[in-house]
Amino acid sequence: MTSVWVAEIFRPSTIPFEQIHVMLYSFFPSVTKDEGRPYVWRLLARDRIGIVSTCRPTAPGVREVSIKSGVTYDFVLTYRRERNVAGSYTRPNGTRRKRVAHTVTITSMPELRERLIRFAGDRGGAVGYVRLDHQRTLLIASKHATLPIVDAVGNVLVTDADKFAVLLGSGGPGTGKAYGLGAWWLPQLMEPA
């Protein structure tokens, strides 16, 4: 049996959405930013944030929740619907190849579903049912940027609790963790009874 730390905190209305991740670092005083983000988060409501981490935050109301192999949990997840594609470039004279990566926005529901199933399968979970809703765009006003995202709900059978705990603490698939994307929220475990 393995565990993760979970906390629900109040989101001050004075903190802009793009700065929430900076505020959340204050709950991990022993971690430097050079070590990487020790948590993932999601907006639970306009004024509530859920944090999931493999190390204990100093947030009020923090709880340790146990992840058990062989148990199926419901999940809620918002993730980025883009993937990186590696390619190669050959000069016209054929002498040099250069790695080139570009990003492709995924709009096919079957491809989005398969990406999620494959991602969890490599990290200790077997996704059973999954429903993908609300392909939408997240606007990051301060950066004048947009992120194509998708909301997913479903259930996942934990096949390896240790690997799955790491998935919960690091999130995924995709990027955008600073903006609350990629946090697997398991309501029956993570929300207070």
* pLDDT tens for the chain, residues 1 to 193: 589 999 999 988 888 888 888 899 899 988 877 888 889 999 888 889 999 999 999 999 899 999 999 999 999 988 877 665 555 555 566 655 545 455 666 667 788 788 888 888 899 999 988 888 777 778 777 767 777 888 889 999 999 999 999 999 988 887 788 888 889 999 988 887 6
Helix or strand (DSSP H, E) at 163? helix 161-170
Cα gap 135→177, rounded to integer Å: 18
Distance in angstroms (rounded) separating the CA atoms of residues 121 and 160: 10
Q: 104: buried, middle or exposed (CB in 10 Å: 19+, 13-18, 0-12)? A: exposed
Every domain of the chain and the residues it spans: 2-190
3-state helix, strand, coil in the chain (%, to 5): 25, 45, 30
CATH numeric code, 2-190: 3.30.70.1210
The Cα-based distances of 175 to 3, 14, 56, 97 in angstroms read: 24, 25, 23, 27
* pTM of the complete model: 0.81
